[in-house]
Amino acid sequence: MSQSSSNQIDQKVLVLDFGAQYGQLIARRVRDLHVYSELVPCDITAEELREKSPSALILSGGPASVYAEDAPSIDPAIFELGLPVLGLCYGHQIMTVTLGGEVAHSEVGEYGAAALERDRESALLNATPLEQTVWMSHRDAVSRAPEGFTVTAKTSVCPVAAMEDASRKFYSTQFHPEVQHTEHGQQILSNFLFDICGLEPNWTMENIVEEKVAEIRKTVGEDRVILALSGGVDSSVVAALGARAIGRQMTCVFINHGLLRKGEPEQVESVFTQQFDVDFIHVHAEDRYAALLDGVTDPEEKRRIIGTQFWNEFFAVATELEQDGRPVKYLAQGTIYPDIIESGARKTGGKASTIKSHHNLIPFPEGVHFDLIEPLDHFFKDEVRALGLALGLPEHIVHRQPFPGPGLAIRIIGAVSPEKLEILKEADAIVREELDAYNQRLFEQTGERNSEHAVWQYFAVLPDIKSVGVMGDERTYARPIILRAVESTDAMTADWAKLPYDVLARVSSRIVAEVPGVNRVAYDITSKPPATIEWE
């Protein structure tokens, strides 16, 4: 398992998570300022915190009222640890009641933009205007600051919008400096981290790479590591890191199920044989998958077959490798921070047992055992991308869009066949070429890779029907292609992309002209929900 024992991680800010909508965002913003930060559950004790030796604490917001029956509280001894503390929203209120101040129910809540007024010096609000726009989301409000605190700012409905006890380095705000709508939020966080806590901005990609490389070397020693490399962002970044750290002690197993997009297997092979020095095994399992999937129409059954066969193939390679008498001790995985959070670790207080159950989803066969190395388990997706770029991975891997494990099999409705796969690969390649170009134009215009209108995921779907058309003087009876293109941030919800007509027209005319067997293109204009992004 990865360990957090290095210099950069020694300087860290822990965010006590009171169930905030913005909890992860706080850690994100701190990291944007090049200081390592992660969430811990709000019921952590002072003793547990001391063991983690943080440099500072941030108390997040949360949906509860401090007076609600099941409202989360905080171990009061945490305020005796001698650490700087920044309380935000609920964190501001819990700090108030724990340290002897008062929070009152108020008739009018405050939601959205608010005008903050400050009439005195404050280390926290330093270098921000006396009047500024901040983002609020609360009903209760602090009515009396605890002893030792000075009130530094207010709004028209919130008498204690910011307060501080500079001698103990306790600061808090009712508003959310972490959200973008708070005009000077980053300045405020930066004041806290650098001026108040005296931290150094040394959580940079160069340091992270160095640190991760050292960590992997230390964990692995002389042992052997295996990685299931899919060609996706996360496993590719692990492969690149592993290459730098332990070179050919690591074997990357790329299982080609024949369901990847056009050109992808060749790209993965070329990057990991020519650019990185790892032991790369390309398993050609296309025929075995084709035989297993022959005639299978049920989407869940397809998924099950593909997933099970994947591990069969993988463990067969692992067993084969060990024939030389050198056991494979570690399995490297591209688990990232949101995977751990989403697996429910937070709900049970971040205990290791739940984190493990996430990994145990892998059906290890009887008698097989690997220790896990997960060098990305502290990173958000865009940090993983930045790490990939710092390691020299090509853009087409680092900015690859999400692609389902079962691949094109779940974009062919009904049974998969070589003929249908060929049609879908060709059509999909055109969709990607045209929409990559469209995104690139937007990127050049706005300078932002994820600008408002950028398309997040786009692909072709092949339904199990034929329709009549006319090409030249000939009647055709051929397949349609469905274009799916969505805007999203996390795939939980999505909207269909409002693509310009000329882009749609080009995609359509190119597919019909260039892909034999297709005579029609339709555009899926359904959001998620009620539809899903994929068709199966």
Residue whose C-alpha is closest to residue 205's, from 4, 336, 447, 36: 36
Tokens of 239: 């492969």
* Contact (CB, 8 A) for 227 and 235: yes
CB of 210 to ligand XMP, least distance (A): 31
Q: What are the beta bridge partners of residue 371?
A: 330
Residue nearer to ligand XMP on the CB measure, 9 or 413? 413
Residue nearer to ligand XMP on the CB measure, 182 or 457? 457
* Contact (CB, 8 A) for 237 and 394: no
Instruction: Compute φ and ψ for 227, nearest 5 degrees.
Output: -135, 135
User: Cα separation of 158 and 200, whole Å?
Assistant: 34
DSSP for 82-96, please give it.
---EEEETHHHHHHH
* Contact (CB, 8 A) for 240 and 390: no
User: Cα separation of 342 and 11, whole Å?
Assistant: 26
3-state SS, one letter per residue, for 156-199: CCCCCCEEEECCCCEEEECCCCCCCCCCCHHHHHHHHHHHHCCC
Listed in sequence order, the DSSP H helices in 222-285 are: 233-246, 264-270
Residue nearer to ligand XMP on the CB measure, 410 or 481? 410
Q: Which of 34, 38, 42, 89 is catalytic?
A: 89
- The reply to whether 176 belongs to the active site is yes
CB of 406 to ligand XMP, least distance (A): 5
User: Cα separation of 516 and 511, whole Å?
Assistant: 9
Residue nearer to ligand XMP on the CB measure, 148 or 404? 404
CB of 109 to ligand XMP, least distance (A): 34
Listed in sequence order, the DSSP H helices in 272-380 are: 286-293, 299-321, 337-340, 352-359
Residue nearer to ligand XMP on the CB measure, 218 or 304? 304
Q: Which of 34, 92, 138, 176 is catalytic?
A: 176
Long-range contacts of 104-107 (CB under 8 A, 24+ apart): 104/140, 104/141, 104/142, 104/143, 105/65, 105/67, 105/139, 105/140, 106/139, 106/140, 106/141, 106/157
Residue nearer to ligand XMP on the CB measure, 231 or 406? 406
Task: Respond yes or no on whether the N-terminal peptide bond of residue 529 is cis (omega within 30° of 0).
Answer: yes
Q: Which residues make up the interface to ligand XMP (CB under 6 A)?
A: 303, 402, 404-406, 457, 491, 528, 532-534
* Contact (CB, 8 A) for 506 and 422: no
* Contact (CB, 8 A) for 328 and 321: yes
Residue nearer to ligand XMP on the CB measure, 20 or 486? 486
Q: Which of 38, 110, 178, 264 is catalytic?
A: 178
In terms of residues, how long is the chain?
536
Strands 474-487, 495-496: pairing kind: antiparallel
Residue nearer to ligand XMP on the CB measure, 85 or 306? 306
CB of 374 to ligand XMP, least distance (A): 17
Residue nearer to ligand XMP on the CB measure, 402 or 463? 402
CB of 532 to ligand XMP, least distance (A): 3
CB of 490 to ligand XMP, least distance (A): 9
CB of 264 to ligand XMP, least distance (A): 15
Roughly how many angstroms between the first and final C-alpha of the chain, as a whole number? 35
CB of 206 to ligand XMP, least distance (A): 31
Residue nearer to ligand XMP on the CB measure, 60 or 457? 457
Residue for token pair 């539809």: 531
CB of 491 to ligand XMP, least distance (A): 4
User: Cα separation of 379 and 281, whole Å?
Assistant: 27
Taking CA 177 as the corner, what is the angle to CA 173 and CA 180, rounded to the nearest 5 degrees? 155
Task: Respond yes or no on whether the N-terminal peptide bond of residue 327 is cis (omega within 30° of 0).
Answer: no
CB of 401 to ligand XMP, least distance (A): 8
Residues carrying an active site annotation: 89, 176, 178
